[in-house]
Amino acid sequence: MIFEILEVPYTLLGDFYVRVGVFNIFGQELELLFEGMQGEGRYEFIFNGENLPGGVYFIRLQMNDKTETRKMILAK
């Protein structure tokens, strides 16, 4: 995925504690997009990578005890 502005969609099937963050390849969190409780429904966050150098990044979506990670490539 090549991006500068990326939409991060996800759907919850119940009430969850959600944490969405952007990480570099060293596992360092660069930006926290959201942290808190969310109810059932479809959500999306906008990530703007214009202030980051080109490279590989990861979006980590944590929902209670489940974690999903998505790889992104920022090309400039």
Note the pLDDT of residue 11.
Answer: 92
Strands (E), 1-76: 5-12, 16-23, 29-38, 41-48, 55-63, 66-74
Q: What is the pLDDT of residues 29-76, one digit of tens each?
A: 999 989 999 999 999 988 888 888 989 999 999 999 999 999 988 887
> How wide is the angle at C-alpha 26 spanned by C-alphas 25 and 29, nearest 5°?
90
Residue 4: the pLDDT is: 61
Q: Is the pTM of this model over 0.85?
A: no
User: What pLDDT shows up at residue 52?
Assistant: 86
